[in-house]
Chains A and B, each alone.
Chain A
Amino acid sequence: MKPSLATRIGALKLDNPVLMASGTFGYGDEITDLVSVGKLGGIITKTITLQPRPGNPPPRICEVTGGMINAIGLQNIGAERFLQEKLPALRALQVNIIVSIAGNSVEEYVRLAHQLDGVRGIAGIELNLSCPNLQKKIISQDPKLVRAIVAAVSKASRVPVIAKLSPQVTDIVAMAEIAMTAGATAVSLINTFPAMAIDIATRKPKIAFVTGGLSGPAIKPMAVRAVWEVYRALKAPIIGGGGIMTAEDAVEFLLAGASAVSVGTANFIDPGVPEKIVSGLRSYMERYGIINIKELVGSVRC
C-alpha cells in the first residue's frame, strides 16, 4: 500500500505535513521558478500588518554557527496591498495559504482578521505573537494578551487560527494551553530564539537592532523539546518547526508530537528542501512500513 502523507490541522486538510514557514519565501513571486509549491502541504505567508512597515535599518541578518540571526522588522506592504497585489498570484499556486498576521494591540489583530475573513483562498490564519508590546516584552510572553488575542481572532475568523509561540517563556506548555483554551485550532512551535552576535573587529553588534531571532539547525533540539512537552501535556495539534533541513529532521518533530512541520531558514540555502522533505517522508514511511503519516505523530517511545 502506498503511504499516505495526508494530515490535518483542525478542519484544514493538508496533502502532506510540509509547510513553508512565514517570512521565508517573500510573497511567492520568485520562489515559483524554483519550487513546485503546489506539491507542499501549505505555505504560511510573510507576516502582514494593518499598515505597511518599512522594516529595520540594515544590517538585518548575520550568520552564526549552525544558523542565522534576523531582525527584519516585519517589513511588509500592509494588508490592503497584500490582498490586492499578492494574494491572487498565491491563489494561482493551488496550495493551502495560511496568512500570518501581527498587530500592536488586540484591536489590530481583530481588524486584520476581519479584513481576511471570507477572502477566497485563505485557508488559515497564523498569529505572529512575537511583536513587542507596550511593556517591551513580546506578546507571547504575556498570558493575558495571548488569551485576549487568540480569543478575539478565533471569534472573528471562520478559518483555523494557529498561535505561533515564542520559546522564550518560562513554561511553553502553560502558554500553549492558554492559546488552545482561548480557541486556537493549533499552536506553531516555535518562533525564533532571542539572540545576539558581536563583531569583535568593530566591537559593534552584527545587526543594527542589536538583538534578533536565532533560527536554523542550532535551535532544532530546543524546538523538538518544546513540541514534545506541549504534545505530552495537551495532545494539541502542533505545527513544529525550528531548524528543519531534511526529512529526518521533520520526522523527529512528528515523533515528538507535531502533526505538520514548517520549514523556514532551510529555504535560503536550498529552495528545493521542502519538496525533498515530502519525498523523504514518503521514503521513510516506505522503509518502516508506515501506511498513514498520522501514525508517527507523538509516537516517540519514552
Chain B
Amino acid sequence: MVGPGYVRLVVDAQKMARNSRPGQFFMLRVPGVFLRRPFSVYDADKGRLSFLYKIVGAGTEYLSLMKPGSSLGILGPLGTRYEFDAVSPGTIPVIVAGGTGIASLHFLAQRISQSGKLFYGARTKKDLLCLKEFRARKWQLHLATDDGSCGHKGLVTDMFKKFLAEQSSASSPLAVFACGPKLMLDAVTVAAAAHGIVSQISLESMMACGMGNCQGCAVKIGNEYKMVCKDGPVFNV
C-alpha cells in the first residue's frame, strides 16, 4: 500500500520491463472479473514492472490481496508512448496529472533526464502520491487539492493556466504531458493550444482485447475514431 486504498504492484518480468516505455500499459488478468484490465506502467526498473492503482471495486480488491510470489497473467507492453527523445535540451517538460493519472507520468519523469514542472491535483493530501520520487529528481511541484489540505484549493488546471499566462516569448519552450480525468485533459489541451503547444495526453477507455482487435475502445480524435489501446493511449492533441 502506498496510500489509503492505493497499491503499488511489482511484478518480475525481465524482458517486458526492458521493453516498456513511458505511456505504455499492460493488460492484467485480474482475479474474479472476466476481461483483463489495462494498467499503465508506473515504473520499469531492474527487471521489474510496477503498476500503481486505486482499489475501486472487486477486481482491484482481489488484486491487492494476491500474495507475494503468486503468478500474474500480463500482456504487454501495449500502446503508444510519451515522446520525449525529441524534447530538445532547452525545453522544459511540464507534467499535468490528475488523480491516478500520475502513474504513467511517474514513469515518464523517471526516464527524462531533465527535471521539469509537475502540476498535480487530487481530492485530498492523502491522494497525492509519489511526491518524494518527483522531488528526488528535482522537479518543481505545484500541487492542488479539492479540499485545500495541500497546496492550492481548487483545480490543478487553474495553476497550469496561470503558469502558461506567465510565459513570454523569451521563455523556454515547453513540452506538455498530461494524464487524468477527461475534463482536466480538455482544459489542459485547450489552454496549451492557445499558446501554440501540442499536448501529449494519455486517455483511458473500457477495453476488451487491449491490442486493436475488437475495436471496443474507440475515442473520437478530430473527425475519426481512434483506438485507445493501439493508436493511443498517448495522443498528440
Contacts and interface: CB of A to CB of B under 8 A. Distances in A.
B130 interface: no
A72 B35 contact: no
A62 B211 contact: no
Contacts of B212: 26, 29-30
A68 B225 contact: no
A25 B212 CA distance: 8
Interface size bucket, A side? 20 to 34
B214 A55 contact: no
A96 interface: no
Contacts, number: 85
| B interface secondary structure, majority | loop
Contacts of B224: 54
Given A54-B225, A57-B220, A67 B215 contact: no
A216 interface: yes
A25 B213 contact: yes
Nearest to B34: A63
Interface string A59-70: 111111111101
| A interface secondary structure, majority | loop
A58 B213 contact: no
A64 B33 CA distance: 9
B201 interface: no
A24 B214 contact: yes
Given A60-B218, A270-B73, 17 more contacts: A25-B213, A26-B211, A26-B212, A30-B211, A31-B213, A55-B218, A56-B218, A61-B217, A62-B206, A64-B34, A67-B34, A72-B214, A216-B34, A267-B209, A268-B208, A268-B213, A269-B35
14 contacts: A25-B213, A30-B213, A30-B230, A54-B224, A56-B218, A57-B220, A58-B205, A60-B215, A60-B218, A63-B34, A68-B34, A72-B216, A268-B208, A268-B210
Interface of B: 29, 33-36, 73, 75, 205-220, 224-225, 230
